[in-house]
A and B are shown apart, each in its own frame.
Chain A
């Protein structure tokens, strides 16, 4: 949380912050002290990086117990994590690895999402990841798989439009087909972020401003989903708080279509308050 001192001293007008749950699943110390002071003044939404809904392994009960303690502390209105896997046989890769898009994998992921929601007693949103590999065994598109999972689990979607763009370029699909293909009424949150272009692929790096094609996708997403809580992720080479905040507020420039359809609603751009190191 590189800007916590600025936030606590200057009290900038920000609708909400997102924290990486794992950074605060500790027994005490400085991270929790800072979090408690932030919670006195701001809404905080928890975002996780290690639930691994898509792993064949069973859920980690110790992890869940710690997570529930944090959920009670933050009173997060919903909790999100990724639709991916990253562990097998209890060995963790600490990565967000892509799913095979099959019905059996969707069923397994949905079962685990339901178990987590029932245990934590908080709504769950699952996030689409950026990916660099697809499997021969896949039976459907990624957006069909995401739909299968969230309909089975009856949960929400954290729609990461930057991840859609990155994966679309890496796997040669139309990102607008993806946006049009998901159940829009289930989208509870949107992520935007920057990525890095390499010669033959894009990498999801979260280390600079959002690129124009991603903002255009974002505008389309809000037209389909309505004005939606939106979070800018900036996790590396983080500039000043003012610069990060300004980039988050750019979201307001792209929601004209959605706002016209829902004139009584504002927007809710947030800022990721946690570096993922």
Chain B
């Protein structure tokens, strides 16, 4: 069991909605910069899609992105890793725990 696996299920807030009504499709790639509200919306739409829809087994993120790429590659486009946590593991913390 890894440290990420040992994160307790989220208990302090509601679960993510099963169907994110109204959420528009994500951009194909993460914005290279956020210099406008439109850029901000694209980044937030991307992260929301990665977190919300559709979930993988249990409380996990889905393994593959909409276009067939590994979700790990997509997460690496917009989230910084460090020597302890990959970009995907950082995303997983939000998926599985209270932030």
Contact = CB atoms under 8 A, between A and B. Distances in A.
Interface of A: 55-57, 85, 88-97, 100, 102-105, 108, 129-137, 170-172, 198-201, 203-206, 235-236, 276-277
Contacts of A206: 12
Contacts of A199: 3
27 contacts: A56-B38, A88-B23, A88-B41, A89-B23, A90-B23, A91-B20, A91-B52, A92-B17, A93-B16, A95-B51, A95-B98, A100-B34, A100-B43, A102-B35, A104-B35, A104-B37, A132-B90, A132-B94, A133-B91, A135-B78, A136-B77, A136-B79, A199-B3, A200-B3, A201-B3, A201-B93, A203-B97
A102 B44 CA distance: 14
Contact of B6 (A100, A137, A198, A236): A198
Contacts of B79: 133-136
Contact of A171 (B24, B35, B82): B82
Contact of B37 (A108, A135, A200, A205): A108
Interface in B1-38: 3-4, 6-7, 11-14, 16-17, 20-24, 30-38
A95 B99 contact: yes
Contact of B30 (A93, A136, A170): A136
B7 A56 contact: no
A203 B7 contact: yes
Interface of B: 3-4, 6-7, 11-14, 16-17, 20-24, 30-41, 43-45, 47-48, 51-52, 77-80, 82, 84-85, 87, 89-91, 93-94, 97-99
Contact of A104 (B4, B7, B13, B39): B39
Given A88-B45, A198-B6, A135 B80 contact: yes
A203 B93 contact: yes
A97 B40 CA distance: 13
Most buried by A among B3, B6, B21, B48: B48
B99 A132 contact: yes
Nearest 4 A/B pairs, CB to CB? A56-B41, A199-B3, A91-B20, A133-B90
Nearest to B48: A88
A104 B36 contact: yes
A203 B98 contact: yes
A262 B24 CA distance: 53
B11 A236 contact: yes
Contacts of A96: 99
B11 to A, nearest CB: 6
A85 B41 CA distance: 10
Given A131-B99, A199-B3, 13 more contacts: A55-B44, A56-B38, A94-B16, A97-B47, A100-B43, A104-B34, A104-B37, A134-B80, A135-B79, A137-B78, A198-B6, A201-B93, A204-B99
Nearest to B11: A236
Contact of B31 (A92, A132, A137, A276): A137
A90 B22 contact: yes
A89 B80 contact: no
B97 to A, nearest CB: 6
